[in-house]
Amino acid sequence: MKQALVRLVPAALLAFGLALQAGAAALQIDWIELVPADQRATFDPAPPPPVHDYLTGESGGLAAQQPLDFSVNMDLEGQEIRIPGFVVPLELDEEGNVTEFFLVPYFGACIHVPPPPPNQMLYVRMKQGIKLDSMYSAYWITGKLSAKTRATRLGAAAYTLAGIAYEEYKF
Amino acid sequence: MKPLVGLAARSLWNRRGSAALTVFAIAISVMLLVGVETVRIGARESFARTISGTDLIVGARSGPINLLLYSVFRIGDATTNVSLQSFELVSRHPDVAWTIPISLGDSHRGYRVMGTNGDYFRHYRYGNRQALVLAAGSAFEDDNEAVIGAEVASRLGYAIGDKITIAHGIGEVSFAEHGDHPFRISGILDPTGTPVDRTVHVSLDAIAEIHEDWQGGARSAVTAPRHPYDGDDPESAQAEEVARPALAGITAFLVGMRSKDSVLQMQRALNEYRAEPLTAVIPGVALQQLWQIVGVADRALFVVATFVVLAGLIGMLTSILTSLRERRREMAILRSVGARPLHVFALLLLEAGLLALAGVVLGIAAAHTALAATTSLLASRFGLFMETGGPGVYDLVLAGAVVSAAVLAGLVPAWLAYRNSLADGLTIRT
């Protein structure tokens, strides 16, 4: 019994250490780092005038249109990152926890202003949903990032994050 | 320890009148607490379960919560209709995977009737992206068929092939039946635990047809009997086919995007659409907004319920304290047969614990019985589909908290009795 314990304790300690290391391995990044390095100097978050209407496809429309020339930072592909942001819930599980959401750098990304450019938002999926108390609270999200280009009318490149852990952001 | 429990129980039984009142007071307060908490959690789960896999809900310009409530939960009413042009514009959009039209406003014996099309059965998801499953029959194929939810079928005893008529308006009864257009039940859906169970589904064309003669706000007698299914001569039936009634608009529609990346852009584009004032909401966001509003009332109710439990426990404390003086003789007898002051202390604590335990058990049982009895009322009035699985882990937590609080409160009389029995010993000085 005692021997088993002696052997178990270092194993547990090792596992704990590894878990800590896994946490530490996540690269903490800032939102600007999602913009490719060569574009950061000229990055202008103010959207240029719309090229054509997103809904009707006609040109000269007034509706919001994402500029098409934003690209993603491929250096981050496959990396485990940790980033703070606001949660825009998309899908809830049966207990009401948020399992799919957009992580955006500022609150209100969904209503008052045009949505953030594609390289300034993350589509996050988490197995263990977030118990979201308030959409005004910010969260640290840790997860594995994948950067992809998708063919939509937006021609938007986009990030997907396989969420691993979350933690409320404290000021 | 064990003989002490028996002693405490028998001592309480000796004073069963006042003990029962104390238990009753605790039971009522616990019933309130458990009721409030069960409804709160049940409401959340019920709402979260109802819609899944839908990226946007689009309706006429109104608030996001209002739109969510009337389109998905069938609570409240739409401000106005959405034009078919807008619906088709979105349906044809290259980034859109599917759309589901929803047309509300009629009912069948208190159950809402929803006009939609086959895409509803293909694309609508609830719970954890579960699709609707037909328990019997098939989806409607023409304008004279209806698919009913599980509760409609079981409550009204309908089977495949039964004929039903639809009433104008959404009351429990209506004095304006669409009697000229009966529907044959073609399918019955599996239970979902969502408002779908309480819905009668028909095709959009059927909604248009039954309202054809209602353009003046009530049924017109002049144009009424000229539908092909009324058995007119074939020639006029043919003419009817040509002049098919056009649908003026739909109440709302659900949108699924090909890729989540374009959800926000589509929402923005719809909200800014100049040709028609529309509101597009992400269901998850609207639900979260709803929680944030309801959450305040939730918390207030929880606080009130907690204070009622506290009042119940204080009532218990009062009754034990007042009994102490009368029971000095009882304590003296106990001491004379060998009980130590510590035993007296434990006895009083046990008494408090037993009273609270009885109250908690009674309260939880009463709360769940009451909830089980009101499930269908909650579903019909508020669109809340409570899981009536009986007491759960959370009830145990609440029970534990109340009993611990009671034992803690019991420390006061226990300490007093302990001191008295030390001072009194075997003789009582009064």
CB contacts, 8 Å: B94 with chain A: 152-153
Which pair of tokens denotes residue B146?
């209806």
Residue at B364: amino acid letter:
I
- From the number of C-beta atoms within 10 Å of its C-beta (0-12, 13-18, 19+), residue B140 rates as buried
CA distance B121 to B116: 9
Residue with tokens 């616990």: B30
CA distance B391 to B359: 15
Residues 6+ apart with CB under 8 A from A161: A81, A103, A122, A123, A124, A125, A141, A143, A144, A145, A146
Assess whether pLDDT exceeds 80 at residue A46.
no
Tell me the DSSP string of A58-104: -BT--S----TT----GGGTT-EEEEEEEEEEEEE-TTS-EEEEEEE
Chain A 72-101, CB below 8 Å of chain B: which residues?
88-96, 98, 100-101
- Per-residue HEC secondary structure of A138-160 comes to EEEEEEEEEEEECCCCCCCEEEE
Mean pLDDT over B215-232 rounds to 53
Ranking A6-20, B272-286, B356-370 by mean pLDDT, the lowest is A6-20
Q: How many CA atoms lie within 13 A of B205 on its CB side?
A: 11
| Pick from A95, A110, A158: CB nearest B285 | A110
CA distance B320 to A154: 73
Which pair of tokens denotes residue A89?
């819930």
CB contacts, 8 Å: A92 with chain B: 48, 52, 284, 287
Q: Which residue has the higher pLDDT, A165 or A13?
A: A165
Its pTM stands at: 0.77
In angstroms, what is the C-alpha Rg of chain B? 31
pLDDT in the model for residue B88: 92
Assess whether pLDDT exceeds 90 at residue A120.
no
Residue with tokens 């999200």: A141
**Beta pairing class for A157-168 and B249-250:** unpaired
Cβ–Cβ < 8 Å for B79, B248: no
Assess whether pLDDT exceeds 80 at residue B309.
yes
CB contacts, 8 Å: A150 with chain B: 259, 261
pLDDT in the model for residue A36: 80
Mean pLDDT over the full length of chain B: 84
pLDDT single digits (tens) B406-423 = 999 999 999 988 888 877
pLDDT in the model for residue B28: 94
Cβ–Cβ < 8 Å for B279, B64: yes
At residue A70 the predicted structure's pLDDT band, cuts being 50, 70 and 90, is low
Percent of chain A at pLDDT > 70 equals: 63
At residue A152 the predicted structure's pLDDT band, cuts being 50, 70 and 90, is low
| Pick from A66, A89, A150: CB nearest B284 | A89
Q: What single-letter DSSP state applies at residue B58?
A: E
Which pair of tokens denotes residue B321?
């304290």
Q: What single-letter DSSP state applies at residue A117?
A: P
Mean pLDDT over B10-35 rounds to 91
Residue A91 pairs in a beta bridge with: A100
Mean pLDDT over B98-122 rounds to 90
CA distance A141 to A82: 6
CA distance B380 to chain A (A): 21
CA distance A82 to chain B (A): 21
CA distance B429 to B184: 87
Mean pLDDT over the full length of chain A: 72
User: What is the value of ipTM here, to two decimals?
Assistant: 0.74
Which pair of tokens denotes residue A137?
């609270």
Cβ–Cβ < 8 Å for B418, B411: no
CA distance B196 to B72: 9
Q: How many CA atoms lie within 13 A of B122 on its CB side?
A: 12
CB contacts, 8 Å: A108 with chain B: none
CA distance B33 to A46: 51
Q: Where are the domains of chain A?
A: 28-168
Chain A 19-58, CB below 8 Å of chain B: which residues?
53-56
- From the number of C-beta atoms within 10 Å of its C-beta (0-12, 13-18, 19+), residue B187 rates as buried
Cβ–Cβ < 8 Å for B335, B344: yes
Q: Return the residue in A68, A91, A125 with the most chain B beta carbons within 10 A, the one to mutate for interface testing.
A: A91
Residue at B152: amino acid letter:
V
Residue at B343: amino acid letter:
H
| CATH superfamily of domain region A28-168 | Protein of unknown function (DUF3299) (2.40.50.870)
SS3 state at B291: helix
Mean pLDDT over B230-258 rounds to 64
CA distance B164 to B158: 9
Q: Where are the domains of chain B?
A: 2-47+290-424, 56-281
pLDDT winner (highest mean) among A57-66, B105-114, B243-252, B380-389: B105-114
Q: Which of B292, B97, B266, B252 is nearest to A87 (CA)?
A: B292
Ranking A50-64, B112-126, B145-159 by mean pLDDT, the lowest is A50-64
pLDDT single digits (tens) B332-371 = 888 888 888 888 899 899 999 999 999 999 999 999 999 8
Q: How many CA atoms lie within 13 A of B264 on its CB side?
A: 28
Backbone dihedral angles phi then psi of residue A8, each to the nearest 5 degrees: -75, -40
pLDDT in the model for residue B234: 45
| Pick from B47, B128, B264: CB nearest A102 | B264
Task: Kindly state the helix (H) or strand (E) to which residue B145 belongs, with its residue range.
Answer: strand B145-148
Contact B285/A88, CB-based, under 8 Å?
Answer: yes
* CA nearest to B258 within chain A: A152
Q: Return the residue in B260, B279, B292, B293 with the most chain A beta carbons within 10 A, the one to mutate for interface testing.
A: B260
Mean pLDDT over B280-285 rounds to 92
Q: Which residue has the higher pLDDT, B227 or B258?
A: B258
Cβ–Cβ < 8 Å for B84, B115: no
Q: Which of A54, A46, A37 is nearest to A156 (CA)?
A: A54
Residue at B99: amino acid letter:
T
Q: What single-letter DSSP state applies at residue B229?
A: G
Q: What single-letter DSSP state applies at residue B221?
A: S
pLDDT single digits (tens) B202-221 = 998 888 888 776 666 666 66
Q: Integer distance in angstroms from the first to the last C-alpha of chain B? A: 30
**Beta pairing class for B145-148 and B183-189:** parallel
Assess whether pLDDT exceeds 90 at residue B400.
yes
Mean pLDDT over A93-110 rounds to 80
Q: Which residue has the higher pLDDT, B94 or B233?
A: B94
Tell me the DSSP string of B394-425: HHHHHHHHHHHHHHHHHHHHHHHHHHHHHHHT
Residue B103 pairs in a beta bridge with: B115
CA distance A168 to A135: 11
At residue B243 the predicted structure's pLDDT band, cuts being 50, 70 and 90, is very low
Distance of CA A140 to the CA centre of its chain: 10
Q: Which residue has the higher pLDDT, B122 or B107?
A: B122
At residue B23 the predicted structure's pLDDT band, cuts being 50, 70 and 90, is very high
CB contacts, 8 Å: B95 with chain A: 152-154
CA distance B8 to B5: 5
CA distance A139 to B187: 46
| Pick from A55, A101, A134: CB nearest B269 | A55
Distance of CA B237 to the CA centre of its chain: 46
